[in-house]
Amino acid sequence: MPPGGGGEEGDEHGSSTVQSHPPATVHREEDTPQLPTISAVASKEKKQKLEQQPVPSLPEGALVEILSRVPYRSLCRFKCVSKPWLALCSARDILKRSPQTLSGFFYKNAGVLKFRNLSGRGLPLVDPSLPFLRQRYENVHVEQLCEGLLLCSCWNSCSACENDYVVCNPATQEWTVLPPVVFPAQECSHPWKKGIPMTYLGFEFAVPSRFVVFATPYNADRLPGQMAIYSSETGQWSYVQSKWSSATHVDCSRRTHVFLNGTMHLATLCNSIIPTVDVEGKVWKEIQMPVDWTNSNIVLTGQSQGRLHAWQLDYCDDSELDIWVLEDYGTGKWTLKHTVNVSELFGRHCRKDGDFYQMFAIHPDCNVIFLTNQKKMTVSYDMDNQKVHVICNEFMIGLPYIPCFAELPSAGH
């Protein structure tokens, strides 16, 4: 089927219909219009005069107020104008107030952590090697990313079991070392994973003064057990007993999670439910998936515009991708938001044997999704106008990154 469907959110009664749309238009890098650039200085004399101009005082001045409303990616371009502009656009007071949105993706290539700008162009907006952590640790492994923060496992010895969990902000290079998390021996029944918990980072720009980390034992039986919850407000772990049903088996092999409205959403083995728990470990729920995806291997969740989304790619139905949105937590009502033939997004009329596609993220602020294939191409797809943009000619399953310049809670460095 052609790309389209679900573009209309529904009528006044909450119903949803799937409509057909014309095939998506692929815009490769050379077809993408360039953003307006700042005019180059015509002569060396003018450039010298410009560099000699004093930087406006902070935080006063109309220019500061204007730049405080400019997105971070634009500020990075403005830094190239002159030395005074570099200093001005790097000022912390401006960066803290600058509106932020999705800037790019952290991803791994041949075991090396990399960063790809959303535009597909220019130097990475952040250094994916995290040099500020490597000044102390020989080994740094990124476990989780949540909006603007990273959760890393860091160690100096030969054994990763003797590690520190560190939450860091790559934009400000601040970091906090968490105290050790310790579970009873009987909780850690996996023969190779004793003492190594599964961790999930929670952070929201709506509450920048707090981050949380959820940890569960790497349980071979995958039965509900204890959960540890770290809060940056207390600087301590609290231990609570899981209140999910005995049939809820958290999938320890996947790091898929969504932190939304102070609640952690995890993945399960059967793909039929989404188990949730709040930051205090008091509210435990199980959200039913919109359809029966028990036998599906590619089911993922994400958040966009303040609502939980779930999607599934059906290879048996010619690579049809269905995207659902949870309309009501109380009733568990889901609405089909969009349906698209993924093969057409990559320039094919139908899927051939061996073709692999995956939707790995959804934009947090608009109706744009991100997909990749094994043919080394990663694209974005706008569900509103059915347009495709090639981000890079590389296979990439990335973690969405939004810069954050607020002071890291409990920052120890």
- Three-state SS letters, 39-81: CCCCCHHHHHHHHHCCCCCCCCCHHHHHHCCCCHHHHHHHCCC
Is residue 132 within a helix (H) or strand (E), and if so which, with residue range? helix 131-134
From the list 279, 222, 219, 228, the residue with the least C-alpha distance to 245 is 222
Average pLDDT in the chain: 79
The DSSP result for 287-310, as a single string, is EEPSS--TT-S-EEEEEETTEEEE
Alpha helices in 178-266, H assignment, sequence order: none
How is residue 398 annotated by DSSP? Answer: P
Question: Which pLDDT score is estimated for 59?
Answer: 46
For residue 108, what are the CA distances in angstroms to 64, 151, 402, 409?
Answer: 37, 15, 18, 27
Question: Which pLDDT score is estimated for 9?
Answer: 38
Q: What are the two backbone dihedrals, phi and then psi, of residue 94, each rounded to the nearest 5 degrees? A: -75, -45
Question: Which pLDDT score is estimated for 219?
Answer: 62
Secondary structure of residue 373 in the 3-state scheme: strand
Question: Which pLDDT score is estimated for 174?
Answer: 93
Question: Which pLDDT score is estimated for 173?
Answer: 92
Q: What are the two backbone dihedrals, phi and then psi, of residue 21, each rounded to the nearest 5 degrees? A: -135, 160
Q: What is the pLDDT of residues 55-84, one digit of tens each?
A: 545 445 777 777 777 777 777 778 788 888
Full-model pTM:
0.76
**Has domain 100-401 been given CATH number 2.120.10?**
yes
Domains in the chain: boundaries: 46-97, 100-401
Residue 53 to residue 140: CA distance in whole angstroms: 43
Name the stretches of the chain with pLDDT < 70.
1-60, 158-161, 184-195, 219-224, 252-255, 317-318, 350, 353, 411-413
**Residue 34 amino acid letter:** Q
